[in-house]
Amino acid sequence: MGRTQLQDPVSMTVGQEFHPFATLLKEEIKNLHRASELLFEVNLGATAIGTRFNTAAGYQELVVKKLAKVTGLPCIPAEDLIEATSDCGAYITVHAGLKRLAVKLSKICNDLRLLSSSPRAGLKEINLPELQAGSSIMPAKVNPVIPEVVNKACFKVISNDTCVTIAAEAGQLQL
């Protein structure tokens, strides 16, 4: 049953209910891959503030090439080393993508918990696997442990985003 404001206006299949979950997760994985490309630009060889002070000619190109070889990632030297040293925009962008994924995963988990809610007073449209005993006083109760633990992990990612944001903002001048 499709719902708006928890009302039953439109019928829908289980497939129609679950397909959007898969679609949004695929989209978020693509978004994370795109965002992570920002991390391939590195400021190795920049020295203290990005001026290349006391760095041998060609050092940056050599060390970035070695890093790419060791990691198997397409690392490239930053064009503006001072900007690359003082800016944390790539970290903010990547973590914002992680937060966005966490928000969507958490919503999916909340939907699964609601859809599997108790047979007498809840929706009970889906059955989640019984992975642990429910309750000593309510033996028929099935706890939605996987959605709940995924929610907790999502909450941690969401809160970490605040930490990453504040840490990126807290630098002064070239650092």
Q: How far is CA 128 from CA 20, 132, 162, in A?
A: 19, 11, 33
CA pair distance 58, 113, nearest whole angstrom: 57
Q: Catalytic residue at 159?
A: no
3-state secondary structure of 74: coil
Answer yes or no: are the C-beta atoms of 107 and 165 closer than 8 Å: no
Q: Encoding tokens for residue 114?
A: 């609601």
Q: Which of 106, 135, 136, 159 is catalytic?
A: 135
CA dihedral 81, 41, 168, 102 (to 10 degrees): 170
Instruction: Check residue 133 and give its pLDDT.
Output: 74
CB 135 within 8 A of CB 48: no
Q: Is the pLDDT of residue 95 over 90?
A: yes
Give pLDDT, residue 55: 86
Place of tokens 């397409």: 74
Tell me the H-state helices in 43-144: 59-71, 81-86, 89-115
Whether residue 85 contacts residue 174, with contact meaning beta carbons closer than 8 Å, is answered with: yes
Q: How many helices (H) and strands (E) does the chain have?
A: 5, 4
Report the pLDDT value the prediction gives residue 48, as an integer from 0 to 100. 83
Q: Give tens-digit pLDDT for 22-61.
A: 999 999 999 999 999 999 999 988 888 888 888 888 999 9
- Say how far apart CA 120 and CA 81 lie, in whole Å: 63
Q: What is the predicted pLDDT for the residue at 51? A: 83
Instruction: Select the more confidently predicted residue: 3 or 36.
Output: 36
Cα gap 104→31, rounded to integer Å: 13
pTM for the structure as a whole: 0.85
Supply φ then ψ for residue 131, to 5 degrees: -100, -10
Per-residue model confidence as pLDDT tens digits over 111-143: 999 998 877 777 788 888 888 877 778 777 778
> What's residue 70's pLDDT?
98
Is residue 9 a contact partner of residue 3, using CB atoms and an 8 Å limit? Answer: yes
Tokens of 75: 């690392």
Domains detected in the chain: 12-110+158-169 (1.20.200.10)
Per-residue pLDDT tens digits for 60-94: 999 999 999 999 999 999 999 999 888 889 999 99
Strand partners, 77: 42
